[in-house]
Amino acid sequence: MVHAILGTVLTIISLINLLMALASKIRSVQVFGALGFLSMALAEICGVLFVLSGFQNDNYSHGMATNFLLTFGFYFLELYFLKPAARTQAS
């Protein structure tokens, strides 16, 4: 039960992150924010389907794990593109 609640909370946080990414006006941040939300939503859907299958369909479990790892990667890239650009010094 705690696992399911945590997945739902993470999906809600992912939606909030998507809204903030879209407001950032940085195209790469917007793209990875959208991909992160999409993969997080798919992870939750796979998790729900795995429970509804009576914990029998391992493909849903695999989909849940794979999409969660993709989400982690997308949000890492989003943070990477949020870093400020390096300033060059004029000689």
Instruction: Say what the pTM is.
Output: 0.86
Please give the angle made by the CA atoms of 48, 35 and 11, to the nearest 5 degrees: 40
Domain ranges of the chain: 2-81
The pLDDT profile of the chain, 91 residues, written as one tens digit per residue, is 888 899 999 999 999 999 999 999 899 999 999 999 999 999 999 999 999 999 899 999 999 999 999 999 999 999 999 987 666 666 5
What's the alpha-carbon Rg for the chain, to the nearest Å?
A: 16
